[in-house]
């Protein structure tokens, strides 16, 4: 087991990564800091609970948790569900001393964290992420929230868990597509700040894709460590933390424009990273050969192609992104493998060209050829 | 004008109390600390805006605010309205640099603060309370939130405003009933921690009830100062801050059981304080003559009688109060004028007796007489 300490302005907590964490849950909870906890509530999805509920209950022993369900899927990450869950908690007698455990993927973690943040103005909670993506990403950083119909994650709070338990045993039941969607987030960690992690990816693609336990534990830990460092240095996303949004500006736009649920979040981010890489190389900030190395690793996991999207629609969707300040277009680009920079001056033309190259390579090539012919 | 500094673990801000604060709004906003603000959003009610919107706009000069409306009334203090308001803000282009001004009574302040707390995980906001109650109470302490159908204020955040402007000129248009409902909160401030304020009430009842400007400014300032002190010492309500709940345990239960909207919040608290006074004197913690003094001031403002309520139903409703920890019944009582104590051991029998005395005085007297006769 590896542990990583996450420090932030509002406190610190430990992320534990390894095997067998679920089975030792009861003794882990007893060792947690904080006030006396009277009752345990679990937020999970029916699917996760049918797979792991029995072992979860057995791990808690005589402490019978109250189980709250949120159906799987981004479309349940919304206000009305938070209200329903809070109402169920009141009915079940949850008070300020209750502990909430978010046991599931990213949606469960985001909704669970937000529910804990606002229930009676804040109760304690623990993250127990069950997907690769949520283990490397959404359980670190204290961001919680829900979507509005006009955009993702527009509502939320900063609220830190007491602890995060990332049990890699739980990843064994993930579908290949879901695992791969998570791996992109780990590739991102390497690209923006950890060249050694990226080289590990390059050298071990079949091992990782074959979900070798040691390889998975290593990349989860490296990704969490990178994110914890960045978040510890800049919790409120005023500076450094912005690099974590590499691939997200266009990723969110691609995800929203495709219709939520068509691409997995991580797959949309994979396409967003390819767009950011195209801009980085076209600016000559990133060497062409490094751009190709990055592209090769991302494409190894075969992100499913998004539906035919008009680059102009994506541009419009990206303007609603909450990372924009006023009318400036902010973008995270690379100046090398492991070296991300935040820039404020990406123009619409630059972005459109990159979108054409990545999403409509044939059209883009055709345009280049016809340009040549007319010269 | 009087200013009171509010200090808390998450920062500090100033409450300004006086006349003409609305007209000088623009220069006040310019002097506020914090980041560059791009856009101003105002959350208000149609009633308040029809009275003061013109002067508000004139005060801002060329800075045209985007106005968001929430209808008056506790029943709009709910999740669905927060979601609607957030969606309107997205459509109107609100980003993280936007400033929200909550301009209205307690519901506007609570919903506005909560909206600011969770919009893009937190934006800056200013409180501009327009009722007596919101000037003395809900604009200090950083508590924000909405109701669930199962109880009041069960959802919320701690999120401090950049500043509070309590313009007593705005109180001139309040209905007498609404002013009086607020005055109880100020009486509470005197009873729990400021004996001088309570004596000022005793000596100046007609002046206060006739809303003399100097008297109103004085009691608003004294009440805010008391609350600011308490909140500064104990933001998270783990100790001292609990005394602010004097009258609230039964007040909330009376309000909820009557049906929201039958009694004003302050009126329900007035009845809750009478219940707490009855327990305090029956325990001999409060001298009978001090109990009578407190009762005389509260009853001077003639709280409308609640509908016929069964004390047993109130007891059940009080068990859902979020101030209870597990199965203990917590209560704030008085050991003297200006001297509140928190106790954990109020029994159901004690509470039932007090409820009978306060809410059904004739039945209680009848029972005492019949008890005597049967001896």
pLDDT, averaged per 10 consecutive residues of chain B (375 residues), comes to 83 90 94 80 97 96 93 90 96 94 94 96 95 84 82 87 94 91 95 97 95 92 93 73 92 86 90 97 97 97 88 80 58 96 90 90 64 57
Q: Which of A193, A265, A293, A356 is catalytic?
A: A265
Q: Look-up: residue for tokens 């999403």?
A: A359
Chain B interface test: which of A8, A9, A155, A157 (most B C-beta within 10 Å): A155
Closest by CA position to B103, among listed B61, B141, B51: B51
pTM: 0.82
**What residues in B contact A120, CB-CB < 8 Å?**
154-156, 322
- Preferred mutation among A78, A118, A324, A329 to probe B, highest tally of B CBs within 10 A: A118
Stretch A13-41: mean pLDDT: 89
CB contacts of A118 in chain B (<8 Å) are 118, 145, 155-157
Nearest to B121 among A120, A149, A158 (CB): A158
Q: Is the pLDDT of residue A235 over 90?
A: no
Active site residue B160: no
Q: What is the distance between the alpha carbons of residues B298 and A236, in angstroms, rounded to a whole number? A: 46
- A155 chain-B contacts, CB cut-off 8 A: 83, 86, 118-120
Residue tagged 């090539």 (tokens) = A365
Distance of CA A2 to the CA centre of its chain: 20
The secondary structure of A260-281 as a DSSP string is TTSS-HHHHHHHHHHHHHHHHH
- What distance in Å separates the CA atoms of residue A372 and residue A272, rounded to the nearest whole number? 29
Q: Is A316 on the interface with B (CB under 8 A)?
A: no
The CA distance from A83 to the nearest CA of chain B, in Å, is 7
Tell me, what's the pLDDT at B173?
87
Angstrom CA distances, B102 to A346, B25, B82, B107, B114, stand at: 36, 13, 13, 10, 10
CA distance B341 to B331: 8
- Known catalytic membership, residue B143: yes
- 3-class state of residue A87 by DSSP: helix
The model's pLDDT over A174-230, given as tens digits with 9 standing for 90+, comes to 899 999 999 999 999 999 999 999 999 999 999 999 989 899 999 999 999 999 999
Cα distance between residue B375 and residue B356, in whole Å: 21
Q: Are B70 and B43 in contact (CB under 8 A)?
A: yes
ipTM of this complex: 0.79
Angle at B74 between CA B69 and CA B75, to 5 degrees: 85
Active site residue A322: no
Mean pLDDT, rounded, for A120-148: 88
**Whether A356 is catalytic:** no
Q: Is B146 helix (H, G, I), strand (E, B) or coil?
A: strand
The HSE-up count of residue B123 (CA atoms within 13 Å, CB side) is 29
* Model confidence pLDDT, tens digit, residues B61-72: 888 999 999 998
C-beta separation of B117 from B86 below 8 A = no
* A140 backbone dihedrals φ, ψ, rounded to 5°: -120, 130
DSSP 8-class letter at A136? I
Helix, strand, coil percentages, rounded to 5, for chain B? 55, 20, 30
Asked whether the beta carbons of residue B80 and residue A80 sit closer than 8 angstroms, the reply is yes
Count of residues for chain A? 375
Q: Do B326 and A95 touch (CB under 8 A)?
A: yes
Q: Is B147 a catalytic residue?
A: no
Residues in CB range of B361: below 8 A, 6 or more apart: none
The per-residue pLDDT for A368 is 62
């Amino acid at each position: 087991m590896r542990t990583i300490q996450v420090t932030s302005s509002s406190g610190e907590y430990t992320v534990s990564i390894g095997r067998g964490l679920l089975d030792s849950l009861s003794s882990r909870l007893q060792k947690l800091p904080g006030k006396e906890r009277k009752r345990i509530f679990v937020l999970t999805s029916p699917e996760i609970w049918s797979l792991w509920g029995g072992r979860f209950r057995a791990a808690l022993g005589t402490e019978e948790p109250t189980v709250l369900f949120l159906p799987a899927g981004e479309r349940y990450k919304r206000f009305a569900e938070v209200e329903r869950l809070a109402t169920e908690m009141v009915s079940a007698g949850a008070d300020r001393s209750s502990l909430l455990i978010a046991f599931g993927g990213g949606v469960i973690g985001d909704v669970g964290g937000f529910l804990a943040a606002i229930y009676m103005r804040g109760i304690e909670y623990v993250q127990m992420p069950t997907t690769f993506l949520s283990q490397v990403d959404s359980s670190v950083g204290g961001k919680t929230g829900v979507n509005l119909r006009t955009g993702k994650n527009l509502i939320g709070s900063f609220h830190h868990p007491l602890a995060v338990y990332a049990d890699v045993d739980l990843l064994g039941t993930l579908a290949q597509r879901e695992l791969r969607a998570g791996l992109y987030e780990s590739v991102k960690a390497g690209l923006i700040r950890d060249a050694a992690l990226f080289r590990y990816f390059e050298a071990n693609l079949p091992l990782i894709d074959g979900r070798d336990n040691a390889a998975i534990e290593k990349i989860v830990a490296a990704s969490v460590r990178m994110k914890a460092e960045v978040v510890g240095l800049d919790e409120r996303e005023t500076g450094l933390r912005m690099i974590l949004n590499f691939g997200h500006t266009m990723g969110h736009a691609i995800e929203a424009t495709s219709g939520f649920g068509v691409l997995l979040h991580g797959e949309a981010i994979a396409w967003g990273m390819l767009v950011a890489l195209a801009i980085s190389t076209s600016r000559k900030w990133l060497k062409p050969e490094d751009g190709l190395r990055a592209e090769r690793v991302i494409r190894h996991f075969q992100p499913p192609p998004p539906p035919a999207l008009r680059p102009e629609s994506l541009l419009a969707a990206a303007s609603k992104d909450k990372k924009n300040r006023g009318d400036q277009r902010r973008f995270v680009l690379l100046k090398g493998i492991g070296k991300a920079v935040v820039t404020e001056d990406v123009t619409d033309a630059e972005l459109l060209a990159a979108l054409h190259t990545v999403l409509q390579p044939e059209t883009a090539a055709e345009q280049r050829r016809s340009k040549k012919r007319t010269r």
